[in-house]
Amino acid sequence: MPFLTVNQARLHYEVDGSGPPLLLVMGLGGNSQVWAPIRRQLASRYRLVMYDMQGTGQSEVSPLPTTRETLLDEVDALLTHLDLPRVLAVGYSFGTSVLLNYATRRPERVQAISLVSGVYNVTPFVRCFFDVQTELADGLTRSQYLKQVLLWLFSDTFLNENPEFFERIVFMLGRSPHASQPFRGWRQFVSSFESDYRATIAALSLPMQIVHGAADKISPIGPVREAAAVRAGCRLDVVPQGGHMLTWDSPEATTAALLEFLEGQREFV
């Protein structure tokens, strides 16, 4: 099981598949298992690089405060460790903000980015959601917290069609090395989240795709369309009835959209 020491802690990572390198950046407080439903299809075409951010999954908690810079240092150290001077990249949820910041900091290392289920403008609704989730995470057990947040992550259509999935994923998440601890993802990571990424999107010159669910409860589609519109040439793929956790909620449509975009970039990496 490969590890890399970054920010004075061991960072867990995985490499899978063959082809041009494709970096996958996970969401807030989750782990690299977010990619499980689409991993096989992507690995058949690309060399996947996945990792658990500090204090999540199998990565150790860093003694350093979590900041935007420490999160970017993880990405930079991992790519350097694997001798990957340039990659394609996909970010999910909070991972889209990490990826946008990294592409701004090190544009020479990123050929193209796909942003899945991102929040690009912290509206009053999103700010309230962040605040409430932080309070709930502090006051509930990890199991209780995960059960309520899953209702936000998945679309009504998905949960109605897969009633057994709810308890199954709670069980899976409960097997994390951090399962006995309260969920601290919001307090650990939310301060690294910028309030508005629209200017960043507009300023980046690399090929860019946004993939988003039309039924996303956390990041409504309206502000996402506005964010995509600030950048000429930004590709927007909307998944009908898709929720926030698109890789699990709508894996086939998500994979198809990603591959269609990435295939046009693979020759440049």
What domains sit in the chain, N to C, each tagged with a CATH number? 3-121+194-268 (3.40.50.1820)
Give the closest residue to 47 by CA, choosing from 13, 87, 76.
Answer: 87
Q: What are the two backbone dihedrals, phi and then psi, of residue 233, each rounded to the nearest 5 degrees?
A: 90, -5
> Do the Cβ atoms of 137 and 183 come closer than 8 Å?
yes
The H or E element spanning position 113 is strand 110-116
pLDDT in tens, the chain (269 residues): 799 999 899 999 999 999 999 999 998 867 778 899 999 999 999 999 999 988 887 888 888 888 889 999 999 999 999 999 999 999 999 999 999 999 999 999 999 999 999 999 988 888 898 889 888 988 887 778 888 888 999 999 999 998 888 878 777 766 665 566 667 777 777 777 888 999 999 999 999 999 999 999 999 999 999 999 999 999 999 999 999 999 999 999 999 999 999 999 987 77
Q: What is the CB-side half-sphere exposure of residue 251 using CA atoms within 13 A? A: 10
Rounded CA separation 33/30 (Å):
8
Give the model's pLDDT for residue 119. 95
What is the pLDDT, as a whole number, of residue 180?
63
Q: 90 has which bridge partners?
A: 24, 114
| pLDDT score of 178 | 57
Residue given tokens 């020759």 in the structure block: 267
Rg (CA), the chain: 17
Task: Answer whether 226's CB lies under 8 Å from 236's CB.
Answer: no
Q: Is 186:152 a contact under the CB 8 Å cutoff? A: no
How far is it, in rounded angstroms, from Cα 220 to Cα 212?
Answer: 9
Strands 21-25 and 47-51: parallel
Residue 169 confidence (pLDDT): 74
79-82: long-range pairs with CB below 8 Å, 24+: 79/23, 79/49, 79/109, 81/4, 82/15, 82/21, 82/49
Q: How far apart are CA 259 and CA 40, in angstroms?
A: 12
236: β partners:
210
